[in-house]
Structure formats: C-alpha cells, structure tokens
Amino acid sequence: MAGSRGRGRSQFSFSVDALGFGRGDSLPSSAHTPSPLFPPMQFRPVPLHTGEEVDYMLALKQELRASSKNLPFHIKAARTKTDVAHYSDKYQNGETKNNCIEWSPDWSRMPKELCIKVRKPRKTGAKPQLTRKPKVAAGKEEVLQKLETLEKREEEQHSEEEEDEEKKKQNEEEPDADEDYDEEDLEDETDYIMSYFDNGEDFGADSDDNMDEAVY
C-alpha cells in the first residue's frame, strides 16, 4: 500500500545475502539456448538388478518380440506394383495382399464393416488338390491345354500351401534360425535360393559421378 511504502522499504522476509548476489548487481545472465540433449550426470546410475528371475524375464521378452513378428497379427503393407513386370513376380505370388486377412477372427464379435476376406487356409487347399489328381488321371484324353492350366493352379496352391505350412510351423515351434534357410529353399520349386536372386533394380542406381576407374 502507498502508506507503508516509506517505512521498512527494503526489508524482505528473507535475507538478501541468501539470494547469492548483492543489491544493485545485475542478475546472472539467462541462458539463451535450450538445455543440452544429454545433460551431464552428477552421479552414476545404480546398476541393474541381476538374478535368475531377471534373466528369465529378459529371455521371455526377447522371445516374445521375435515370435510376434511371425504371428499373423503382424501386418505388413503389400508391396506396391512397380511399373516393370519382373520375372520373379511369377515366383513371389505368396506375398501378402492388402485385401485378405491371414487369420480368421470371430466375425460375430467384431463390427460388420470390418469383415474382410480370409486368406484360404491350408486344409481347404489340400482338398482341391486331392480331387484334381483323379481328374487329371481320368482325363487322359483331354486337351493338353487343360493339363497345363491345372498344372499352373497346382503350382500356385502348392506354393501357397507350403507357405501356410511354414507359417503354422513358425507359430507352433520356437523360432530358430532354420526357418530362414528352409523358407528360401521351399518357397518355390526352383533350384535357386531366392535371396541370391538379384532383380537387377540396383544396377545403375549408384551414381557414376566419382568413377575414376574404367568400367569393365
């Protein structure tokens, strides 16, 4: 209030010395930069817990992480079609497509609008193959064209079926490194390991700017 301003003018409720600077001094300069990203720590952190329980939970965590990548709940977007048709496309039919779902949820528990085509599971793939074989045997006198189309369909379902078989194996067993190897070999019926196959997309993509040597 104006009245009491004259009396006891510079008496604060705390002693001024405690502030760390005297009267009339300028305030310490304020920092103009944000605080550092990794501020230096005064004390070292306490070491982590150790013990059997901790190790077991660590192993569980890493296993869960690895196995969740193989479950059908791990959704990957389908590769968008590039302009050029590749030879390898014929052998890579089994990749995920956007419009089918890999597991079959209970549609009665979900809203109807989420209903989406379920990818054909292995067992229904097996039956048509069985019924086709007698047909092929019986229709010996059929036109060669029909045999060829049937063969192609068998190939597709065979590759689809083997992939589903692998997915089931991966779901039920502990994931181990064998899978990569088996999948590469069994994915299609070629003799070549798929990862060795080079699409040729990377050729010429590297810049030729710093080429001092000659190209052979």
Partner 1 sequence: MTAQEVRLCGLLLQEHFGNVVEKVGTHLIRSGVLTLRALAHETKLPLDLVKKSLCVLVQHGMCTFGAGRRGPAGPVEYRINCERVFHMLRYPRYIYTAKSLYGDTGELIVEEILQRGQMTMSSTVKTVADRLTHNMPEGQSMDYSEVVSAFSQLVETHFLQRCPLASAGSSSSGAVDTPLPVATQNFLVINSYDIYSTLSQGKRRRSSEDGEADQCAAKKARTDDSECGDDRIYWQVNFQRFHLHFRDQAIISAVSCKLDQSSSEIVRTMLRMSEVTTPAHAAFTQALSANEIFRALLSSYNIARPILDQYLSLLVDDPMEFVGKTGDSGGGMYVVNLHRALANLARATLESVVQERFGSRSARIFRLLLRKRHLEQKQVEDFAMIPAKEAKDMLYKLLSENLVQLQEIPKTPDYAPSRTFYLYTVNQLPTARLLLQHSYKTVGNLMERRLYETKENKRLLEKSQRIEAILASLQATGAEAAQLTEVEEMITVPERQQLESLRHHINKLDSSENQVDETIFLLKSYINSTQASR
172 versus 208: smaller Cβ distance to partner 1: 172
Instruction: List all residues 6 or more positions away from 135 whose beta carbon is below 8 Å from its beta carbon.
Output: 150
Helix or strand or coil: residue 88?
helix
90 versus 181: smaller Cβ distance to partner 1: 181
| Interatomic CA distance for residues 166 and 187, integer angstroms | 9
Count of Cβ atoms closer than 10 Å to residue 188 Cβ: 20
14 versus 216: smaller Cβ distance to partner 1: 14
- What are the φ and ψ backbone dihedral angles of 100, each rounded to 5 degrees? -125, 155
What are the structure tokens assigned to 154, written together? Answer: 């068998």
Q: How far is the CB of 78 from partner 1 (least distance, A)?
A: 8
In order of 33, 45, 176, the CA distances from 41 in angstroms are 19, 9, 41
Q: How far is the CB of 181 from partner 1 (least distance, A)?
A: 4
- What are the φ and ψ backbone dihedral angles of 191, each rounded to 5 degrees? -85, -5
Q: How far is the CB of 68 from partner 1 (least distance, A)?
A: 5
Q: Are 101 and 200 in contact (CB under 8 A)?
A: no
99 versus 145: smaller Cβ distance to partner 1: 99
136 versus 160: smaller Cβ distance to partner 1: 160
What are the structure tokens assigned to 29, written together? Answer: 């300069």
Q: How far is the CB of 62 from partner 1 (least distance, A)?
A: 6
Q: How far is the CB of 83 from partner 1 (least distance, A)?
A: 19
Q: Are 193 and 184 in contact (CB under 8 A)?
A: yes
- Contact positions vs partner 1 (CB under 8 A): 1, 8, 10-15, 18, 20, 41-43, 45-46, 48-49, 53-54, 56-58, 60-62, 64-65, 67-68, 71, 73-77, 98-99, 101, 105-106, 108-114, 116, 123, 172-173, 176-178, 180-181
106 versus 212: smaller Cβ distance to partner 1: 106
Q: How far is the CB of 85 from partner 1 (least distance, A)?
A: 22
